[in-house]
Structure formats: C-alpha cells, structure tokens
Structure 1
Amino acid sequence: MMRWKYGLGGVGLVLWSLLSGPVTADETTLAAEGVAHYTLALTWHPGFCQTQGNPPRECREPSLQAGADDGFVLHGLWPSLPERFADDGVTRQRWWEKGCFLERPRADGGFCRAHAPFDFEDSLDDALDRAMPGRASCLDRYEYAKHAACLSLPAEAYFDKALDLLELVNASAFVDYVMIHRGSEVPRNALIQAFEAAFGEGTGRALSLQCNGRGNRVLTEVRIGIDAERLDDFPQSSSLVPLRRGRCAPRVGISALSH
C-alpha cells in the first residue's frame, strides 16, 4: 500500500512509496461495479475562500492552508451513476445531487454528522490533512458518505487513490502554469490549452473549469474525467473522458493566498 510524504518546497507534491511487498490490483484500483468514470474534483483553495460569504474554518486559519502551497487541494473523487441505481430509475442529475444518501439519508446538521470519524494510519491521516483542508469541516466524512459508502469502496483505498491522482495533477505542467499566474487573470482558453499541453491533445474536453464570484470570474475548482477502469493509467491521455463544460467567464482570475 502506498504511503505519502508531502514536500514543503516547489509547486508539486513528493510521493514517497514505502512498499511492504508487491502491490496488488486491490491496493491500486477502485473497482466500483457499474461505474463508467470518476470525476476528480480539485479545489483552488484561494479562489474558494475568496468567494465564500461565510468562510469556513479552513479559510480562516492559516495553519490549515499549507496544502494550498502545493497546488490544488482535494475536494472529492466522484463515481458516475452506477448501473444499479440507473436500473432503479435514478437519473444522473438525481445521483449527482444525492449520491449514496439516496439509500441512507444524510443526518441533519453539518458534514460531521454524515459519517463517523475515520481511523486511518498516521501516514494517510497526515497526508489527507495537508491535501484536504476541508477536513477541518469534516469534508472527508461527507465526501465518503455521499460518493463511496454505498459502493463498497473501502475508505482507506478511496482516499489513497484520490491522493495519488491529486499528486499527479499537482506535479504537472498544467499546475505549474496555474501557480505561475497566481494573483493575475488569464484567458479561460489558456487554461484549457495548458491542460492539453500537459496531458495530451484533445484532453481539454476532460477538464471542467468551475468559477464563482461576480460574473463567474474567480477560479474555484477543476474537475477531471477519468475512465473508471483506467484510474491506474492516469495521467495518460487515453485514461481521460469528456465532462460537461464548466462555468467560467472568458477571463479567469487565479487568486493567491494572503498569508
């Protein structure tokens, strides 16, 4: 099983693999039956915080924002509509809105009520703390309860894979481009072109840019479509699948953290 160590320097993350033995398929894949693709949702933390009317704890406390210095941070890894839900008449929109809460309704209250705390090994726990500032608001518990709990996806494997994918994105030339332009405004198409330059011609269709703020001009998130059977092949261009177009203005502001 992979374990993670996040370097403090540079724009990327440093993967540190300590293998106690041969890696098996079960340790590196997420086999969710009847799922065609995953959406890797990565937050641009400065833009997210800038556009929040009532910023959550992870936006107010600088100590929780270290992972943003590495590039994007983890929002979630979202399976597409599973076949068994589709066979029961659940629409894609309904699955997108409710996910696993269709089977086990979410408890009233905040994210912390969505699932019990996880008991991860220290290495995964520390890596997730850095890569997912939203854990301060129990985002990890909410994301797992909504997107993975009903699909027999073990929590440790689910977050291991999400961190693996995040590391690969943050190590890319695409994120280099975003980091270089922090605090400035760039054409939306330039972001798509930077993604294609990093991941392959035509892969821009797999990228969905999400913006918020007045006129949807502030970058808050990127979403990347990945074939469910080819998660281990990412970032090969053949592993990517098209997503719906995002919602950003022709020019996009890339916010910078104010330390």
Structure 2
Amino acid sequence: MPYRALTALRGLHSTLAALVPALCLMAGCAHTPPSTHTDALSIPVTRHGDFGHYTLALTWQPGFCTDQHGPSCQPDQPHAPLIGLHGLWASRPSDLVREGLPVTQWWIKGCDIYQHDDTPPQLSPALSKRLSGTVAHTRSSLVTHEYTKHVQCFGMNAERFFTVASTLRDRFAAGPVGRELDHDAGRDISKADVIGSFERTYGTLPERGLQFRCNTDAQGQPILAQLWFTLDPRGLGRFPAASGFLPSPDVQDNCPARFHVPTWPVTAQAG
C-alpha cells in the first residue's frame, strides 16, 4: 500500500478512535478504561517510515574508544558512564528493498542515498549536555554524524529522536544487566553469560536480537566495543523487555565466544 494512503488510513483510525468514547457515552455503554498500549517512546516519522526495525547501538566506552593503535577518542572523553550511546538506526525503507539496494549500501550511506545534508541537529542545551556525557567524543561530532546519516531523511524531530535514544540507553545501563556489565569491567566474559543474564531478567530474545561488536586492542585481543539490539519500531517503550525485540535479518556480530571487557587506561585523562 502506498505510504500516503497508509498515512491517511492511520489518520482515519485516529479520528474514529476519538469518536468512539463520545458515541458510547451517548448510548449508555459500560465504562471501558482508557487504552494504555500507546508507546510513550515512539518517534514520529514523516518520510520513509515503512522500515522494519531499529538497531539500538550502545557502546562500551573504553572498548569503543580503543583500536590497535591505542586510544581513539578525544582527550576530553568522559570516563563515566561506561555504557554509552552510539545510535538508533532505522533499517532499509521498503522502497530501497524493492529497488534491490544491497543492505550493505544502506549501512554505508544511510540518508545520503536520498539526499545529502550535513546540517547539524538543533538541540536544546540540556539535551546537548546529556549527549556529551554519553556519546563518545570522536574526532568529528558523532551526534552530527548520527543525525545526518540516520535521522534527517526520515523527517524525525531531532530533539525527540535523541531524547528517546538517550532514554533507551539509560534504561539498559540502570538495569541489572547493565550494572552487571559495569561490574565485569577488566574481566573476560562470554556471550552466553551476557545473553543468559539478559534472558533471565527480561525474557527470551529472538534470533540475533542482541549482537556484540568487538574491537582489537594493541595486544591483539578482542575487546567489547558495542552491543546492538534489534528493536520493534512500534514497541520502543517496552525496551529492555524482550517483547520489544525483533529477530535481526542480518548477522553483524563479530565477537568471539569469549572476549575482554576493557577498562580505561590508567595513564589516560579521566573525565
């Protein structure tokens, strides 16, 4: 169904939903409690909104900011919190799928496929400060990169988008699995342990609902850099409950069965 027609149908559905309570009251219907299924963390999308899933990419900051040559983030990189925000990425919209665009091209180019626009997002001072504490301080602004590559072509409101993404990060970091990961800093752990802990806490994950990304440090050992969660765009408010996940169609996990959870180098400047 064309996207405009689908949008019109959604608008009609909303209008009818608003009329039903009034009509029911006039007819003497029994009281029905208001619906509570609305996703409080939804992100309105005005263009190309028929994508299948989001990938929530959270960073393990010491690993994300390390490569084979050593530290890779800026000297002012905060050392807390350890769990940071990379991005919230929409999957390929259906028009690109129909055109046969390889998913790898979408991963590389993102919104540039539709239009090139490097205009930075306009964010409130409070949100900018919040993001400065959780988004890695890379050589160029990661916030601007995320907005121009993954947000601007969807017509999403930047303030809303980054507020929702930050809230998702906060929920995971403050929960039992996030706190356990903090406790594991400096140790070797296994994927099975993390997934087992997650499923005991939040429910059974779908296939590839959680994938791990590792970097390699100067000693050649794999270190945790990111956790990628495949989420239902209509159920962001359920995260981190497993009911808000979808199976990922793509294998993107590059960590071995066991890997190191790094800490910040002792000689590095602490934030």
TM-score (norm 2): 0.74
Q: 1:43, 1:73 within 8 Å by CA — same for their partners in 2? A: yes
CA distance in 1, matches of 2:209, 2:71: 29
Change (3 A) 1:117 1:145: closer
Shift of 1:222: 0.5
**C-alpha separation in 2, matches of 1:239 and 1:26:** 11
Partners of 1:71 and 1:175 within 8 A in 2: no
1:38 to 51, 54, 59: 54
Query: Cα offset for 1:36?
Result: 1.3
- Cα deviation code 1:227-259 (max 9, x no counterpart): 011112222221111233511112110001234
Shift of 1:55: 4.0
Counterparts of 1:97 and 1:240, CA distance in 2: 24
In structure 2, C-alpha distance between the alignment counterparts of 1:37 and 1:55, rounded to whole Å: 32
SS of the equivalent of 1:39 reads strand
User: What residue number does 2:259 align with?
Assistant: 252
Give 1 or 2 for the bigger CA radius of gyration.
2
For residues 50-89 of structure 1, what are the structure 2 equivalents within 5 Å? 50-51=66-67, 53=69, 55-58=71-74, 60-61=75-76, 64-66=77-79, 69-89=80-100
Residues 175-218 of structure 1: per-residue CA shift (max 9 Å, x gap): 11211111111122112212222321235731000112166621
Question: Which secondary structure state, in structure 2, belongs to the residue aligned with residue 228 of structure 1?
Answer: coil
Name the structure 2 match of 1:110: none
User: Is 1:242 matched with 2:243?
Assistant: no
1:155 to 155, 158, 161: 158
Work out the CA distance in 2 between the residues paired with 1:78 and 1:49.
20
- Cα 1:196–1:34 change in 2 (3 A) is same
- Contact preservation (8 Å) 2:202, 2:240: yes
Change (3 A) 1:216 1:104: farther
**Mapping 1:80-229, distance limit 5 Å:** 80-105=91-116, 115-134=118-137, 137-202=140-205, 205-213=208-216, 217-229=222-234
Residue 52 of structure 1 and its aligned partner are, at CA, apart by 5.1
> Aligned to 2:42, which of 4, 18, 29?
29
**Bigger CA drift: 190-199 or 172-181?**
190-199
Q: Which residue among 54, 65, 72 is the counterpart of 1:49? A: 65
Letter in 2 for 1:226: L
Structure 1: stretches of 5+ with no match in the other structure:
1-24, 106-113
In the superposition, relative to structure 1, how do residues 27 and 199 fare at CA in structure 2: closer, same or farther (>3 Å)?
closer
> Partners in 2 of 1:171 and 1:198 — Cα distance?
13
Structure 1 outlier segments of 4+, above 6 Å: none
Taking only aligned residues, the RMSD between alpha carbons, in angstroms, comes to 2.3
**How far does the alpha carbon of each residue in 1:121-143 deviate from its partner, in whole angstroms, 9 at most, with x for none?**
22111111111123662111111
SS of the residue 2:208 aligns to: helix
Q: Distance in 1 between matches of 2:120 and 2:207?
A: 37
After superposition, the C-alpha distances for 1:36-93 in whole angstroms (9 at most, x for unaligned) are 11000011110122325374443x33xx314xx2331111110011112223332322
* Structure with a larger share of its residues in helix: 1
Partners in 2 of 1:149 and 1:73 — Cα distance? Answer: 22
Secondary structure at 2:65's aligned position in 1?
Answer: helix
